[in-house]
Structure 1
Amino acid sequence: MEKGSIYELDGGVPLKQAIPLGLQHVLAMFVGNVSPLIIVAGLLNMPSEQKTMLIQNAMFIAGLITLIQLYPIGRVGSRLPIVMGTSSGFVPTIRAAAGIYGYGAVLGASLVGGLFESILGFFIKPLRKIFPPIVTGTVVISIGLSLIPIGITYFAGGFGASDFGSVSNLFLGSVVIVVILFCMQFTKGFFKVSAVLTGIVAGYILAILMGKVDFTPIAQADWFSLPKAFMYKMEFKIGAIIPMCIMYIATTVETIGDISAVTAGGLNREATDRELAGGVLADGVGSMIAAFFGVLPNTSFSQNVGLIGMTKVVNRFSIMTGAVILILAGFFPKLGGIISAVPQSVLGGATIIMFSMIAISGMQLIFKQNMYGRNAVIVAVALGLGLGLGSTPDALQHLPEWTKLVFAQNGIVVAFIVAVILNLILPQDKKEKAEEGIAFH
């Protein structure tokens, strides 16, 4: 292989070739990185200037932690082309915790959870046995399905919108969906890779023409400023910490899956325990750093994993240029203001597809297994209880408050716990054991 090739992990790729490849990864994850904060800021009715600052911090943190994944500090980092960003999977849990305890308690729980995930990074071997694809796939499906109602709410105008469900909102969201689908199916190169971003830009322009964009956040934002830490005072509430730690276990499983997919799809080999441990440690440490900057937990981005599998571009230097672009974007609040001004119905059109694709990726994981007998029972019971209790929180109204926070309105945690327990206690038949042994080796 030619030295410095984009298909080589290390080596010097020319900057004029590396920058477009790095930008491609930024485009693939940009919307997903800021969407969770926009959603949570909307739920909590945060002032526009705070939302803009959080978006600025989210871009800075994503770039910083991606650099650590690419170029480890000690044992922290996988040394693989893993792109990091704000996790959407935590949104349902954060929504419940923030409603009871406030955003400061969410950040305190994120800090503790990040420490907890960092500790999990030292126990990768036993974790790989406890979380087989049937468990990880079920968790990923529940994450996607739990997020879809939030996407639909944004599609109709967003939480608390005075024109919720209006024809103009539904029209805007629908246009975004149509543009994204067109780019994904009928274009190549830049527009295919950045289909989500293209759809949002098209919807944004249309919203401006329709007079549905408030330019106040852009006007109020500075041209340049440093990312700000300690914007919120952290609080530590056990009722918020427990469900967040459970979600950190779930995101650990997701990260293990993403790292394995990068090495298999981009490097044609299995991930080593060192790479998995370093990646999970970067996840945990990165989320701790994010909490100090008011940003939600960070994790590996599956859409970028898919991009690597499609292009086979694994060169760390090329991906590093994308991380640098994210860091630089974190120093220009005007950019955050432009993003925060995107109408919620426009964002909804994109998030419906993004969240649904998360569920699809989980389905792909479980359908690689034989879905009969034991496996079918695990998925059915875990999703049935998880999504059922998540959508009907009043079923747990007589339980203690902390129990309701852990299990009610949060199908992900329930599905994860049920899937793990059933996987441990339900016996495998001989055929399943033989197939698992073949898959493991």
Structure 2
Amino acid sequence: MADTSIGTPEQLRDPNYTPPLAKAIPLGIQHVLAMFVSNVTPAIIICGAAGFGFGSNSPDFPQMIYMIQMSMFFAGLATLIQTIGFGPVGAKLPIVQGTSFAFIPIMIPLVVGKGVDAMAVIMGGVFVGGLFHAFLGLFIGRIRFALPPLVTGLVVTMIGLALVKVGIQYAAGGVPAIGKPEYGSLQNWFVASVVIFVTLGLKFYARGMLSVSAVLLGLIVGYIVAMFMGMVSFGNVGNASSFALPNPLHFGMEFSVAAIIGFCLMGFVSAVETVGDVSGITKGGAGREATDKEIEGATYADGLGTAVSGLFGALPNTSFSQNVGLIAMTGLMSRHVVTIGALFLIAAGLIPKIGAIISTIPIEVLGGGVIVMFGMVAAAGVSMLSDVEWNRRNMVIFAIALSMGLGLQLEPGALQHLPGTLKVLATSGILPAALIAIVLNLILPEELAAEATDEASGGHAGHGKGSLGKDDHV
């Protein structure tokens, strides 16, 4: 429910309204708390997949701190591009940008076990993919027809399913710990379980900001428990500098066909998700549809923010859906409140000690958090699929796309004879699933759906909407 003590109903629906600073600052910080964990987690996952050591003695450890630092800085910068805008770039709406989970399944095959040198390939893909993403702003409204809930719901569900393995590995002790006696130990699972249970307890039994920040608070409680169990080391914090600026081409830049194709295709999906977030903000905060200008501006800013991130060693940015929900909860549409939150993110990104403190989080604690987060991603996809008319046509499209995508992801050896580029793209699972769903949805005539529904009384087809509602996800 909207808080009318902040302003009049008309002011609350006005993106250009600025509440009194005494209330605007905590509201801006609230937006940062809602997205903070999700924003820095992808950097830690990609560094772990590349083989960066998690200990303070690892030579690659400072690189992880830098990437965490840049995740905060460029999330703040990309958010400013959205809220303030310049020319046609930026929606000038309270859109919070952050590092995207969607690209992780594409990035992991590109870096796995290759160390810091593999990051140059990632940055090349981020840069080109960001430019392509921005280019989509020219005609984003005209291509939405190709991505109905059947396709977008499948893609989001696949992203969640692709990531749950990472969550389990982290909870058990981290990918680098496989083969060691402590991997999967009771201690590791106890710490991860504390995070999960505290998060779920706050999510369902608390209200307001306690519920919105459930994952962050769960991680804090798990961190404290791990500290008492001797699992936390602060050796690296003292060595981190107090201030550092972003470093252009920090990891270098290498242009790989596999990376560029993968990032461009996922940029297409991310652009459509952003359109959904912009629509959610205007509906939840102002009770209206988003304008074409706002959708185009948001897409330009999404892509430009991602391209700039790649130049400085950060990962792709996208709009954050949890903050869309926060706007609906507070009823405040002020873009200037989100601008204040963006300034806090930028300030945090300039202080490497903050990144060093984040890097002290035991991998088991982070595992508990990402199990919840990745499960919520999959649940969000299932919720989107609830809007699908489940006739035989759509069931066949979904079945083939899911079987091929998930199957190739689970058994990458089945494509061992493919050229390297195609193998990386196909074994991600998400891209083949999305392409199959898009193509089949475009070429299979709708008449098949009507015929199948008529013939399917009493069968699985023709049940109409799924049983889940839009608000039934975690």
TM-score by length of structure 1 reads 0.94
Distance 1:332 1:6, change over 3 A: farther
State whether structure 2 residue 23 is matched by structure 1 residue 17.
yes
State whether structure 2 residue 393 is matched by structure 1 residue 380.
no
Name the SS for the 1:357 alignment partner: helix
Q: In the alignment, which residue of structure 2 is the partner of 1:187?
A: 206
Cα pair 1:4 1:13 within 8 Å, conserved = no
Which whole-Å CA distance do the structure 1 matches of 2:349 and 2:126 have between them? 21
Shift of residue 430 of structure 1? 9.1
Shift of residue 266 of structure 1? 2.1
Paired AA for residue 417 in structure 1: L
Alignment counterpart, residue 79 of structure 1, candidates 92, 95, 98: 92
Name the SS for the 2:8 alignment partner: coil
Distance 1:4 1:261, change over 3 A: closer
Paired AA for residue 112 in structure 1: V
> Over residues 243-277 of structure 1, what are the superposed CA-to-partner deviations in whole Å (9 max), with x where a residue is unaligned?
22211112112212222222222222222221111
Shift of residue 239 of structure 1? 2.4
Q: In the alignment, which residue of structure 2 is the partner of 1:130?
A: 146
Which whole-Å CA distance do the structure 1 matches of 2:21 and 2:122 have between them? 40
> Over residues 185-220 of structure 1, what are the superposed CA-to-partner deviations in whole Å (9 max), with x where a residue is unaligned?
111223112111100011111111111112222122
Q: In the alignment, which residue of structure 1 is the partner of 2:469?
A: none
Shift of residue 323 of structure 1? 0.8
Higher mean Cα deviation, 167-176 or 304-313?
A: 304-313
Paired AA for residue 318 in structure 1: V
Q: What are structure 2's unaligned runs of at least 5 residues?
A: 1-6, 53-59, 452-463, 466-474
Alignment counterpart, residue 251 of structure 2, candidates 232, 235, 238: 232
Q: In the alignment, which residue of structure 1 is the partner of 2:460?
A: none
Shift of residue 22 of structure 1? 1.1
Paired AA for residue 75 in structure 2: A
Cα pair 1:223 1:332 within 8 Å, conserved = yes
Which whole-Å CA distance do the structure 1 matches of 2:150 and 2:275 have between them? 14
Paired AA for residue 12 in structure 1: T
Shift of residue 398 of structure 1? 1.6
Q: In the alignment, which residue of structure 1 is the partner of 2:263?
A: 244
> Over residues 140-192 of structure 1, what are the superposed CA-to-partner deviations in whole Å (9 max), with x where a residue is unaligned?
11111111111111111111124221111111100000000111111122311
State whether structure 2 residue 212 is matched by structure 1 residue 198.
no
Which whole-Å CA distance do the structure 1 matches of 2:39 and 2:358 have between them? 11
Paired AA for residue 366 in structure 2: L
Shift of residue 344 of structure 1? 0.8
Name the SS for the 2:176 alignment partner: coil
Q: In the alignment, which residue of structure 2 is the partner of 1:403?
A: 422
Name the SS for the 1:220 alignment partner: coil
Paired AA for residue 323 in structure 1: A
Q: RMSD over aligned Cα, in angstroms?
A: 2.0
Cα pair 2:84 2:339 within 8 Å, conserved = no
Q: In the alignment, which residue of structure 1 is the partner of 2:160?
A: 144
Cα pair 2:393 2:449 within 8 Å, conserved = no
State whether structure 2 residue 242 is matched by structure 1 residue 223.
yes
TM-score by length of structure 2 reads 0.88
Alignment counterpart, residue 169 of structure 2, candidates 141, 153, 157: 153
State whether structure 2 residue 79 is matched by structure 1 residue 66.
yes
Moved over 6 A (4+): 430-433
Q: In the alignment, which residue of structure 1 is the partner of 2:105?
A: 92
Shift of residue 305 of structure 1? 1.6
Which whole-Å CA distance do the structure 2 matches of 1:40 and 1:238 have between them? 19
Distance 1:382 1:310, change over 3 A: farther
- Count of aligned pairs: 434
Q: What are structure 1's unaligned runs of at least 5 residues?
A: 437-441
Cα pair 2:203 2:214 within 8 Å, conserved = yes
Name the SS for the 1:212 alignment partner: coil
Which whole-Å CA distance do the structure 1 matches of 2:421 and 2:102 have between them? 20
Cα pair 1:117 1:281 within 8 Å, conserved = yes
> Over residues 317-370 of structure 1, what are the superposed CA-to-partner deviations in whole Å (9 max), with x where a residue is unaligned?
111111111111112111111101101110111111111111111111121222
Shift of residue 114 of structure 1? 0.7
Give the helix-richer structure, 1 or 2.
1
Q: In the alignment, which residue of structure 2 is the partner of 1:344?
A: 363
> Over residues 1-51 of structure 1, what are the superposed CA-to-partner deviations in whole Å (9 max), with x where a residue is unaligned?
828844432212101111111111111110000000011111223322111
Q: In the alignment, which residue of structure 1 is the partner of 2:47?
A: 41
Q: Which has the larger radius of gyration?
A: 2
Distance 1:230 1:386, change over 3 A: same
Paired AA for residue 17 in structure 1: K
Percent identity of the aligned residues?
Answer: 46
Alignment counterpart, residue 428 of structure 1, candidates 428, 437, 446: 446
